[in-house]
Amino acid sequence: MANIKLMNNRLKFLWLAVLLLTLKTYLLYKVGFEISSENVLQEFILLINPLSSVILLLGVSLFFSGKKRNIIIIVTSFIGTLILYFNLIYYRFFTDFITLPVLFQTNNAKDLSSSVLGLLTFYDLFLLIDLIFLSILLLKNKIPTVQKVRKETMAIIALSILIFIVNLGIAQIERPQLLTRSFDRELLVKNIGTFNYHIYDAVIQSQSKTKRVFAESSDIDEIISYRSENYKQPDQDLFGLAEGKNVIVLSLESLQSFVINETIDGEEITPFLNKLIDESYYFENFYHQTAQGKTSDSEFLLANSMFGRDSGAVFFTQSGNTYNALPEILNGTGYYTSVMHANNKSFWNRDVMYDTLGFAHYFDINSYDVNESNSVGWGLKDKDFFEQSIELLKSQPEPYFTQFITLTNHFPFELGEEDRFINEFDSNSGTLNRYFPTVRYMDYAIEHFFERLKEEGMYEDSVFIIYGDHYGISQNHKKAMSQFLNKEEITDFDTVQLQRVPMFVHIPGHNEHAIKQTVSGQIDLKPTIMHLLGLETENDIQFGSDLFSPERDSYAVLRDGSFITDQYVYTKGACYSKPTGEEIDLSNCEPDMERAQQDLSYSDKLIYGDLLRFY
């Protein structure tokens, strides 16, 4: 006992720093990440889960002696604070935690600067209070200097490991098979802590790197069989309807379905798209299925009918894989394939990935006249983007498949007064308030594009695929969203429903139009486009099915494991009645749970193992 008391006296400064960093982490859980607890045990886990990693992190100081040890304690506390703060900034927009692949996407940093600045607040300075306090104690010589003792170092390491084992044991009781849920990062942080989560993430990422090395040609056989069992025949009346036509795909930045047919102060938010519904096939229950890759994930889903990664972006991590992508397939049928996007060619590694997917040409920022007068937020305004793209379209041989990626409706949703056609919303969220004018501007830009195509005689011989790429308003704006939707609160069920994005198939000259209720997602785009062009997909390895197929299941699975059918919504371990939004017995969702996990795991297996090189 005397030895323990003596050791604790020698380590007072260390224990003080551990206490302050642990409390800061816990407060960030509650205030910054808004992590809730359902019972006392969960709250206890939340309180203790930073402890083991904080002790280990600050315990590095024990390898030093004298004043240097105390300086190292402050330095490691600062490093811990930086880790927390980077996660906080990332979470404010993505409602997610950073993963290693995201950290290595450094060539995106310059383009992301305006978004990051919009996430900083004055209150962030409070994260420095403990560091300032520790520094004052050190400068005033209030902390004694001590020599290093090997037993102390070993004891601290042992204590850290012991606390982690206890923490993990309790967490596993509360949430069985916790460490198999790498896609649910909030659940992991909630149970093992931010710092331990990053260690876990590093292990998971290193394991994924080895999967390609040990993959064998036979690994793809089971997936081929699974695909064959789930293949859906196309609608024979629509098969080949657009054969030989130009295909124009509009990927609409951050557009969610909750704005469709809605108004602000009596003014329609999307008047052109509302009108287009009556002239198109419109899919009302269409969901984005992206994760951390956001727009690039939606592009990957469209091109391959496979899911992106559950962490990071496949555009970065698997850009050297072999794919049977839509652009490459269309190249072989006489189509000229291209992407038009007025951004830096290397952003999201597009210049590399587009070659891999088989695009013949990428019209990047160098193909456009971009200046201060025609730019806002992330770059070239949508109207100017579409206007300048007309000549680029004309320069291409026909038929062509061209994918447009818009920019203006991107966080932080900046817009000049001259382009505001409706008022901002009035809520506690500046982000949501600004969202509606930028959506309205994008709608105006699309209408201008359609008018210009008609003027140039390019409209009638084209087919248009128009969809929202991912959410624009994250879960951090629940209070404001509940106000706009006239709801008392935004539940987990509502959060899933808010992942719906608009989806149009618009075919000039085709007189049949309908609002389709089938539950679907971006993974269904590739087979739908191919069948409209008269191309068979029966031998393709893909996880979507034709949106028009009379055999298709009304079903969509999201990247986090949530899934939706006509009757049920499953998310975060709970089952909901889709018609009512009420939580019901989990057994109702169980028949579809295995299928959702199979879709995700088989897709991951293909990507991580690069299995299409064997096909």
Token match 């064998």: residue? Answer: 216
Q: What's the gap between Cα 446 and its chain centre? A: 25
pTM for this one?
Answer: 0.79
Q: Mean pLDDT per segment of 10 residues, for the chain of length 615 residues? A: 53 89 91 83 87 88 83 92 88 75 57 63 87 88 69 84 86 72 71 84 72 84 93 94 97 97 97 97 98 92 95 84 96 97 85 94 95 90 97 97 96 92 94 96 98 97 97 92 95 97 97 96 98 95 96 96 97 95 96 94 94 91
pLDDT score, position 347: 80
Q: How far apart are CA 396 and CA 575, in angstroms?
A: 49
Residues with Cβ < 8 Å from 223, sequence gap 6 or more? Answer: 541, 602, 605, 606, 611
CA torsion through residues 78, 82, 84, 89, sign: positive
In this structure, are strands 379-380 and 375-376 parallel, antiparallel, or unpaired? antiparallel
Residues with Cβ < 8 Å from 426, sequence gap 6 or more? Answer: 433
Query: Residue 461 gets which letter from DSSP?
Result: T
pLDDT score, position 207: 66
Residues with Cβ < 8 Å from 560, sequence gap 6 or more? Answer: 183, 184, 291, 310, 571
Q: How far apart are CA 553 and CA 137, in angstroms?
A: 65
3-state class (DSSP) for residue 361: strand
pLDDT score, position 182: 56
Beta strands, E only, 374-444: 375-376, 379-380, 400-405
295 is catalytic: yes
Which amino acid appears at position 111 of this protein? D
* Residue 363 bridge partners (DSSP): 340
- Give 366: exposed, middle or buried? Use CB within 10 Å, 0-12, 13-18, 19+: exposed
Q: Determine contact, residues 499/522, Cβ cutoff 8 Å.
A: no
pLDDT score, position 154: 85
pLDDT score, position 148: 63
pLDDT score, position 107: 54
Cα 304–98–82 angle (5° rounding)?
160
Q: Determine contact, residues 399/336, Cβ cutoff 8 Å.
A: yes
* Residue 201 bridge partners (DSSP): none
Residues with Cβ < 8 Å from 572, sequence gap 6 or more? Answer: 184, 492, 562
pLDDT score, position 189: 84
Q: What's the gap between Cα 394 and its chain centre? A: 34
Question: Count of CB atoms within 10 A of residue 412's CB?
Answer: 18
User: In the chain, what are the domain boundaries?
Assistant: 2-211, 219-614
pLDDT score, position 1: 47
Query: Residue 485 gets which letter from DSSP?
Result: T
Q: Determine contact, residues 20/136, Cβ cutoff 8 Å.
A: no
Question: What tens digit of pLDDT does each residue of 32-79 get?
Answer: 888 888 788 888 888 888 888 898 888 888 888 778 888 999 999 999
Q: What is the CA radius of gyration of the chain?
A: 26
Marked catalytic residue, from 25, 99, 194, 295: 295
Q: Which two tokens stand for residue 496?
A: 């899933």
Question: What tens digit of pLDDT does each residue of 259-295 get?
Answer: 999 999 999 999 999 999 999 999 999 999 999 889 9
- Tell me, which fold does domain 219-614 have in CATH? Alkaline Phosphatase, subunit A (3.40.720)
